[in-house]
């Protein structure tokens, strides 16, 4: 029997009539210690100050946080113990919204409208479970895994209403503590009951922990055939593909998860980051847009959401077409919002200035780009040395993109000298080689590949045309410039050594004059440079 007169509850709803109606229902049940708030901000504040036995929170709370974001923040701040029930109340029937809310695992979900009898029945069920499982919940709240394992095992060995719940907790704890054989046995026991999805998910997790990623993927694919709306299975599949160094397949798995349940902020952010690394600009842009939208009023809102969206938009906005101008305006709006929301941080001010410069560079707005780069350079001088590395790297790259080669190379070379780090040196070399956008790099790579194919077919005129086109997109790329020189030398030996050929070779050599002896193309560069010096002065047809 539940003792209601000792319970303390919090009601969170933006409609006064519903708040009062719900309070009357609770009073009739015997609950009188009740706090009431109308918005998510006050709900989080009260939860910091008091401990409740249950929180009854509406999903739609008007302006500000919604109920899902209230639960998200309480979990993020780790102020919601397992002994406090979080019950989502909503009239929302949109499937995607409901799935999104359930992914944060509230203890219960009650659809509006409901009667006092239904509320009483649900609370009786919720509180009965909490009371019976109180020792296990306390051990879990105290992160005492061994005690929780022991208590779950004892409870699971007895018949009762909560045996499946105890087996589930037991399997999760066994995975957490590395007892994978024990977890498999517990999952097999769970599979004897009605619940099938969860034990199969847990078995896939066991396979992942044992680094049997192909087996885990097979288990998850089989599970998705039976339960196609299980977004969590797609998330786990993405983790497996990442572990197998298959980022494209991981991206596909995340896209599948989002097609099932799109209102989960961290999933959208994962897809945005992954597709950006995969240079899938369209997918990254849409995922960052969704991340920005979902992070409104969320405790997980971050400046990177705005600035990464601005980077993607700015890169897509190349040229001065109408659509390019529209994307550039949206990019600048994102930069402004990052400054408004997080502008107190010098790092964010500088990062915002760099992204602003990148947008202007892609729009060929040289004057505005220079102003933004000037601001970024001044802000860099104000940063402590231990917070400069990544921003100095990005500023150096952006200066090269803007054509300020001397200053860009200086910043990057200083970074190498100040940090004895081989990985950083390699990264700087890559930037010095090709400080261009992903779109330009991809297009240049395609042209370079066609040029190589033409060269192998002895079609030197065609090869030179491809390499020259690639050079206009990625002017400092060593491979492209060396391929061009090699093709011109071949052509010159057939046609005679013309002045035009010498000029093209000298221009290509100047473009890659930044190469140093530790560069993997250094020997080839030195060889072709000697060939140009040796062949042209004597043989040019002037």
CA neighbours closer than 13 Å in the CB half-sphere of residue 135:
12
CA distance 362 to 324: 9
CA–centroid distance for 79 within its chain: 25
Q: What is the pLDDT of residues 93-148, one digit of tens each?
A: 788 888 888 888 899 999 888 999 999 999 999 999 999 999 999 999 999 999 99
Residues with Cβ within 8 Å of residue 180, at least 6 apart in sequence: 174, 206, 209, 210
Mean pLDDT of 491-506: 88
Split at pLDDT 50, 70, 90, the class of 538 is low
CA distance 358 to 439: 14
CA–centroid distance for 242 within its chain: 13
Neighbours of 357 (CB within 10 A): 27
Residue with the two structure tokens 């600009």: 281
Mean pLDDT of 383-395: 89
CA distance 261 to 258: 5
Can you give the pLDDT at residue 540? 46
Split at pLDDT 50, 70, 90, the class of 185 is very high
Mean pLDDT of 166-195: 94
Q: What is the 3-state secondary structure (H, E, C) of 105-168?
A: CCCEEEECCCCHHHHHHHHHHHHHHHHHCHHHHHHHHCCCHHHHHHHHHHHHCCCCCCHHHHHH
Helix 346-362 to helix 303-316 angle (10° resolution) is 10
Percentage helix, strand, coil for the chain under 3-state DSSP, each rounded to 5: 70, 5, 25
Q: What is the pLDDT of residues 55-87, one digit of tens each?
A: 999 999 988 999 999 999 999 999 999 989 999
Greatest Cα-to-Cα distance within the chain, rounded to the nearest angstrom: 105
Can you give the pLDDT at residue 537? 65
Cβ(186)–Cβ(163) below 8 Å: no
**And the tokens for 517?**
């002896």
Q: What is the pLDDT of residues 401-435, one digit of tens each?
A: 898 988 998 998 888 888 878 888 888 888 888 76
CA distance 401 to 320: 18
Neighbours of 222 (CB within 10 A): 13
**And the tokens for 263?**
């209102």
Output 96 or 525, whichever has higher pLDDT.
525
Can you give the pLDDT at residue 7? 95
pTM over 0.75, yes/no: yes
């Amino acid at each position: 029997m539940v003792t209601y007169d000792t319970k303390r509850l919090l009601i969170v709803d933006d409609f006064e009539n519903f708040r009062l109606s719900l309070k009357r229902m609770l009073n009739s049940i015997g609950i009188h210690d009740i706090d009431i708030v109308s918005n998510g901000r006050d709900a989080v504040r009260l939860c910091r100050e008091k401990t409740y036995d249950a929180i009854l929170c509406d999903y739609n709370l008007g302006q500000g946080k919604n109920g899902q974001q209230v639960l998200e923040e309480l979990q993020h701040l780790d102020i919601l113990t397992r002994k406090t029930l979080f019950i989502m109340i909503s009239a929302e029937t949109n499937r995607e919204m409901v799935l999104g809310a359930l992914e944060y695992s509230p203890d219960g979900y009650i659809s509006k409208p409901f009667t006092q009898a239904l509320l009483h029945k649900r609370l009786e069920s919720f509180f009965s479970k909490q009371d019976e499982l109180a020792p296990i919940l306390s051990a879990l709240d105290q992160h005492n895994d061994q005690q929780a394992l022991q208590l779950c095992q004892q409870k699971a060995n007895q018949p009762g209403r909560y045996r499946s719940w105890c087996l589930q907790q037991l399997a999760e704890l066994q995975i957490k503590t590395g007892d994978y054989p024990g977890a498999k046995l517990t999952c097999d026991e769970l599979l004897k009951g009605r619940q099938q999805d969860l034990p199969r998910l847990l078995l896939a997790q066991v396979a992942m922990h044992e680094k049997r990623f192909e087996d885990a993927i097979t288990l998850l694919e089989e599970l998705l055939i039976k339960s196609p709306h299980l977004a969590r299975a797609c998330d786990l599949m993405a983790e497996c593909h990442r572990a197998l160094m298959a980022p494209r397949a991981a991206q596909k798995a995340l896209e599948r998860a989002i097609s099932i349940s799109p209102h989960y902020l961290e999933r959208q952010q994962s897809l945005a980051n992954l597709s950006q690394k995969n240079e899938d600009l369209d997918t990254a842009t849409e995922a960052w847009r969704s991340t920005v939208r979902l992070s409104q009023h969320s405790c997980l809102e971050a400046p990177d959401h705005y600035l990464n969206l601005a980077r993607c938009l700015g890169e897509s906005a190349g040229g001065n077409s109408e659509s390019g101008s529209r994307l550039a305006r949206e990019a600048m709006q994102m930069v402004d919002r990052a400054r408004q929301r997080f502008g107190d941080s010098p790092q964010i001010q500088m990062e915002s200035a760099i992204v602003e410069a990148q947008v202007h560079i892609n729009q060929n707005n040289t004057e505005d780009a220079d102003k933004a780069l000037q601001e970024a350079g001044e802000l860099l001088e104000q940063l402590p040395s231990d917070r400069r590395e990544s921003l100095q790297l990005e500023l150096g790259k952006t200066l090269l993109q803007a054509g300020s080669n001397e200053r860009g190379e200086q910043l990057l070379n200083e970074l190498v000298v100040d940090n004895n780090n081989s990985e950083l040196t390699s990264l700087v070399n890559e930037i010095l080689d090709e400080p261009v956008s992903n779109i330009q790099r991809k297009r240049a790579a395609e042209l370079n590949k066609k040029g190589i194919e033409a060269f192998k077919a002895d079609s030197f005129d065609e090869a030179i045309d491809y390499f020259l086109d690639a050079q206009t997109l990625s002017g400092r790329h060593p491979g492209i410039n060396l391929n061009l020189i090699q093709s011109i030398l071949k052509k010159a030996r057939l046609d005679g050594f013309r002045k035009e050929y010498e000029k093209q070779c000298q221009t290509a050599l100047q473009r890659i004059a930044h190469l140093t002896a530790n560069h993997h193309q250094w020997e080839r560069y030195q060889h072709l440079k000697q060939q140009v010096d040796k062949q042209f002065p004597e043989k040019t047809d002037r």
